[in-house]
Amino acid sequence: MTVELSQLGKETQYPTQYSPDVLFPISRAASRESYSDVPGIYQGQDWWHVFEISWLNQQGIPQVAIGRISLPASSAFLIESKSLKLYFNSMNFTKFDSEAAFIATVEQDLSDAATAPVKLKLFQVDELLMTQPQGICLDGFAPTQFSEHPDASLLKFETIEACTEVSQPAEEIQLFSHLLRSNCPVTGQPDWGTVFIRYKGKKPCYHSLLAYIISFRQHNGFHEQCVEQIYADIWQNLKPEQLMVYAAYTRRGGLDINPCRVSDLAWLPSPIRLARQ
């Protein structure tokens, strides 16, 4: 199924009866063709925070919660975001025997759509705490080159006087930038995010790394695809020993999407929520 057939960007009637058939899977294969052999592309999670979850208990009393969905990067399909919003709204007037029954229903429906095991964790509406970013913020560095579209050639190593790139020792660093911006490939609406990069290898040039992140500002791509492209470009051009790329995107339509890819599962972080999400 291609995204053009989805409800994204179209005027839509919100269902008031439980409707798992509105879920719209999108194959990951096409966007991965150019970097399918990059280690780690199939490792990690897509974490979604769902801020508009409600159902009825057996007495007909509305229940509300915040949900965190964990969808594995190894799944054959991602789930289009508007269809996920429609799906959760379709449950607003449906009775469930218990919270556990609601969770089981959601996990089964999303797993069927993604063709992979999907997990849902529910939080009370005031329970999900915010996290402060950790590491070196790249946003104070001044790039010397700019590109209007993603350009992996911007990625450079730090130059050290009297030291060649080959002889530079491997460093382990945690970096982040709040300047990630891309566009929805269907609606053209901007998507904003904070990107985290954990890296072990020859030290990258922070100015060039920020220039590369900024180069996504006019790029059309889903959140998951952007993270995988960033991961693949860094892996192929800077050749680190280990790598983690995690983007925490801001909320739209009651959902935020947080894809993470790792070369080593030991580097898979715990999901977080930032202030602007």
Which positions are annotated as active-site residues?
184, 191
Phi, psi of 159 (to 5 degrees): -90, 130
Distance between CA 44 and CA 228 in Å, rounded?
10
Distance between CA 157 and CA 199 in Å, rounded?
13
Give me Rg for the CA atoms of the chain.
Answer: 20
Q: Which residue has the tokens 């939080």?
A: 123
Nearest to 248 by CA among 134, 155, 172: 134
88 Cβ partners below 8 Å, 6+ apart? 50, 52, 53, 67, 254
261 within 8 A of 73, measured Cβ to Cβ: yes
Chain-centre distance for alpha carbon 59: 37
35 within 8 A of 229, measured Cβ to Cβ: yes
Structure tokens at 237: 């051009």
